[in-house]
Structure formats: structure tokens, C-alpha cells
Chain A
Amino acid sequence: GDSVTQMEGPVTLSEEAFLTINCTYTATGYPSLFWYVQYPGEGLQLLLKATKADDKGSNKGFEATYRKETTSFHLEKGSVQVSDSAVYFCALSESNTGNQFYFGTGTSLTVIP
């Protein structure tokens, strides 16, 4: 079945540090890949997505590249800010159905000044 595995947290970084959150997936078909972010007290928000192999999603300085050969979609940011503190979820949705997300367990990020 389909599944997503994320690196475990929590992750604590100093402001302006480089961020990588690892995400690998297992899919039976041709999935689209997503990163969602959950800020404290808020619902999940789409951060970025990629729909096919080698696509790069980017938003707010975050990037992730869809790597079919390694079944990965790692999230990166060159310089994190305190405002990036949140829980990050990697997810996939199969192209043949497109009616549900398979989420990872989430990675909590805290950025300290």
C-alpha cells in the first residue's frame, strides 16, 4: 500500500541555519507529492507540491524535488526564521484516484533566535 516516511523530530535549529527534512514514499502508481505545514493553533496549509518526477516545488524559500529514483521528496530551506517554527507533513496522492492524502507522521521544527 501507499505510505510516507518522514524523519523523526523534533528538530531545533538556530535562526539562519539550513534546514532539511527527509521524506521517502511508497506508492503503487504515479503519485503527486506535497508538503503541508501546521503553524501553532492553525489548520494544515499547503506549502508546496510536485506532480511528476524531477519537478521542483517551491514556496516561501522552501524547496523540494520529486526524486523517483530514490522515492524521496526532501524539504529544504537555506536560512530558517523563527516564524518557520511549525509541524511539517509530507504527503502523497495517487494520480489514478486523487481523492485522498497519505500523510507522514510530521516533523516538528523549532527555530530559536
Chain B
Amino acid sequence: ETGVTQSPTHLIKTRGQQVTLRCSSQSGHNTVSWYQQALGQGPQFIFQYYREEENGRGNFPPRFSGLQFPNYSSELNVNALELDDSALYLCASSSGQTILNTEAFFGQGTRLTVV
């Protein structure tokens, strides 16, 4: 049990639609990161939030956006869904601003299928 909860666990959306994925972190974890894991691939960094501000972004288009709230919850929003967005989306939280000195705890992920 990592203390990081993601919802929903599975989701099916139609191409062109918008989706919001949610993550609930452990209390005191000021940093949350989102990763996309395509089938058979390793997780790819989407972005990180630290104290409600974006603190780094990977190679993903602007239609991927996020929010972090003061209650240690966060959201990943994806607009104009494409078939290639089908993947497992992982949330990770940690207590420090970097993942070098504090452990990052991962949720079980949300499996998004775009049809």
C-alpha cells in the first residue's frame, strides 16, 4: 500500500473527447508527477507539480495539462484525445521537491483506452 490512489482504474473514451484523471497523494506530499506508460514500454514523464506550480514538463503537447490542489490531490487533463493516448497513466507523489532524496510513491494507475 503506497498511499497513492488513482481514479478511475479503467476508462474508455472516444477520439476527440476530453478526459480527467485523478490522483490522491499521501498527506504532506507536496510533489506529484504524472507518467504515461504505453503497452510494453516504460513510463514516460508528462509533468511534475510542486506546491501547485508546474515544476518540469516532458515532451508532451499542451493538450496534456494538470492541476494540483492544496489537499494533496491532483488531476491530469487530456483534451482532443487521440488513439495513441491509449495507455496506463501513473501518478507519483513525494514529500520533497526532488526525487533524489525522497522516495516517490506510485499509484496503481488508470488504464485509458481511446476508441
Pairwise interchain contact B106-A44, C-beta atoms closer than 8 A: yes
Report the stretch among A13-21, A64-72, A98-106 that lies at the interface.
Answer: A98-106
Contact with B along A71-103 (1 / 0, CB 8 A): 000000000000000000101010101111111
Chain A residue at minimum C-beta to C-beta distance from B101: A98
- B109 and A43 form a contact (CB under 8 A): yes
Interface size of B by CB at 8 A reads 29
CB of B70 within 8 Å of the partner chain = no
Residues of B contacting A105 in the complex (Cβ-Cβ under 8 angstroms): 40-42
Q: Which residue of chain B has its CB nearest to the CB of A105? A: B42
8 Å CB contact of A99 from B44, B55, B103, B105: B55
Q: Which of A4, A44, A51, A105 counts the most B-chain CB atoms under 10 A from its CB? A: A44
**Any A CB within 8 A of the CB of B4:** yes
Flag whether A32 is at the interface (Cβ < 8 A): yes
Are A44 and B56 in contact, CB atoms less than 8 angstroms apart?
Answer: no
A46 interface residue (CB < 8 Å to B): yes
Q: A93-B100, A106-B42 are in contact. Are A100 and B58 (CB under 8 A)?
A: yes
Which B residues are within 8 Å of any A CB, using their own CB? 2, 4, 33, 35, 40-45, 48, 50, 55-56, 58, 90, 92, 97-101, 103-109
Interface residues of chain A, those whose CB is within 8 Å of chain B, are: 4, 32, 36, 41-46, 51, 89, 91, 93, 95, 97-106
Question: What would 27 A/B residue contacts be, using CB atoms closer than 8 Å?
Answer: A4-B42, A32-B100, A36-B106, A41-B108, A42-B108, A43-B105, A43-B106, A43-B108, A43-B109, A44-B92, A44-B106, A45-B2, A89-B43, A93-B99, A98-B99, A98-B100, A98-B101, A99-B48, A99-B97, A99-B98, A99-B99, A100-B48, A100-B99, A102-B45, A103-B35, A103-B43, A103-B44
